[in-house]
Amino acid sequence: MEMYKNYKGKHVAVVGLARSGVGAANLLVRLGANVTVMDIKGHDELAPYIAQLDPSVTIKLGRHDEEILNAVDVVVVSPGVPPGIAIFNKARQMGIRIVGELELAYQVLEELRKTGAAGFLAITGTNGKSTTTTLLYEILVHSGFNAIIGGNIGKALTEEISKLVKDFQRPREFVSPEYIVTEVSSFQLESAEKFKPKVAAILNVTPDHLDRHNTMDEYMDAKCRIFQNQDQMNFLILNADDPLTPKIASKVKPMGPEILYFSRKKQVRGAFYSNGIITFNIPELEVLCPELVVNEMPVFHTNNFRIKGLHNIENAMAASLMALVSGCSVSDIYATLTSFKGLEHRLEFVEEVEGVKYFNDSKGTNIWSVVKSLEGFEESIVLIAGGRDKAGDFSPLRDLIKEKVKAVVLIGEAAGKIKDAVKAVTEVHMASSMEEAVAMSQKAASYGDIVLLSPACASFDMFKDFEERGTLFKEAVLRLPGSRAAAVTGK
């Protein structure tokens, strides 16, 4: 295989030791490379990842040692490491090739495709990526396809590809996947070169990660790299309601992918929502789904969906369109949509305590994600927000908070900044811990209200990650007087 020629016997430095760094390092070892991993963090912080590394990997911690570049053929960058730091600038000056983790996985898969493996189904966007990616994967599995899932969700994509390479080296055990379903972030797309998904989706583009992407144009351009290599045999799914979509569509080259849209506000070529019904409007649909009666467009009644909220209707439309053009039947898509429960930490119902419902939306790490979540409720809301600011402007929340939020409880480094943005339109409380925030929220809420954790910020000031933040929220809710868990323990 050509990939062995590219990496076998080569000296490769992987910069950034986390989930993606481990996946990339172990994949490269399997390809025959001599691998060194570098990270500015220390051993204690990285111990769980170090334990997952192949024993042959050399580990350099505490700094990015530029001297290593003198003996390196290729540098692989993990998504969480900014591409403009000194070690990458030095590598460019020395003419050393720099490859992103996503691109590495794609290169290897391209070799496996020669054995019959299908291409990528890739999803990006500011919000909704994980839910849409998981939903698409579930639809494919329900439809009988052999698919794997990875990327910016669950396991690193390089880890999943490494398993395929291992099986390929034992031909009797190798089963070629039909689809690779992947969530891709702007960080991963920054270093994309030849990445060419069979079907791509950009769910939305709103301000986020401006602490890394200096401007909205830079952020949008990174997202648009998902379709830069697509051609007429590929599909691109776009959100017709997103203000930046016309600008994104204008960047598609003349011989580029076929574009389908989804919308909650108007009829489009693709899928649209109105009065509780999703309608598909694809003239070629009968060719893609021959079980349909000619000229009869299918409809989905969303009141049968288990996932709730307007944003999840958008996610469902995007996943359904991707599934349709990938060969899934309408019946399999609808069956999956009516059974899919959603993901943990994404508008997850936790408990009802004394008539107040508590929802965990810890994955709501930016302002526009919070907007989507707030829009999904008719009830009065007590909002828990705050954390590490990502150079966001919180003023767009003001009108919606005035309309829907009776009180805000703030935590973390950005608490003061958020307070200044919303104190004129709602009651504001400041908490020093998640436990205190939940207790304050219970006092502020009345029967029939919603308490919603949707932080609009990153978690790293107080928590390991958004999962830990959401878990601590749920644990605090279940300890509240009046909860079922408290009743069982007698507290």
Long-range contacts at 144-149 (CB < 8 A, ≥ 24 apart): 145/178, 145/179, 145/326, 145/327, 145/328, 146/175, 146/176, 146/177, 146/178, 146/179, 147/177, 147/178, 147/179, 147/180, 147/181, 148/177, 148/179, 148/180, 148/181, 149/181, 149/182
What proportion of the chain, given as a percentage, has pLDDT over 70? 90
- What local confidence, expressed as pLDDT, does residue 348 receive? 86
The C-alpha atoms of residue 316 and residue 320 are separated, in whole angstroms, by 6
What proportion of the chain, given as a percentage, has pLDDT over 90? 62
- What local confidence, expressed as pLDDT, does residue 274 receive? 93
pLDDT in tens, 259-292: 999 999 999 999 999 999 999 998 766 555 555 4
pLDDT in tens, 300-357: 999 999 887 888 999 999 999 999 999 998 899 999 999 998 888 888 889 999 999 9
Kindly tell me if the per-residue pLDDT of 115 is higher than 90: no
Amino acid (one-letter) located at 464: K
pLDDT in tens, 420-466: 999 999 999 999 999 999 999 999 999 999 999 999 999 989 998 99
Amino acid (one-letter) located at 447: Y
Mean pLDDT value of segment 125-131:
88
- Looking only at the bridges linking them, the beta strands covering 120-124 and 258-263 are unpaired
pLDDT in tens, 195-251: 999 999 999 998 655 555 568 888 899 899 999 999 999 999 999 999 999 999 999
pLDDT range class, residue 170, cuts 50, 70, 90: low
Kindly tell me if the per-residue pLDDT of 152 is higher than 80: no
Kindly tell me if the per-residue pLDDT of 127 is higher than 70: yes
Q: pTM value? A: 0.79
C-alpha separations of 292 from 185, 286, 295, 296, 375 in Å: 35, 6, 8, 7, 35
- What local confidence, expressed as pLDDT, does residue 347 receive? 84
- What local confidence, expressed as pLDDT, does residue 298 receive? 74
Give residues with Cβ within 8 angstroms of 7, minimum separation 6. Answer: 28, 31, 32, 33, 74
pLDDT range class, residue 1, cuts 50, 70, 90: very low
- What local confidence, expressed as pLDDT, does residue 90 receive? 94
CB 125 within 8 A of CB 219: no
Kindly tell me if the per-residue pLDDT of 486 is higher than 80: no
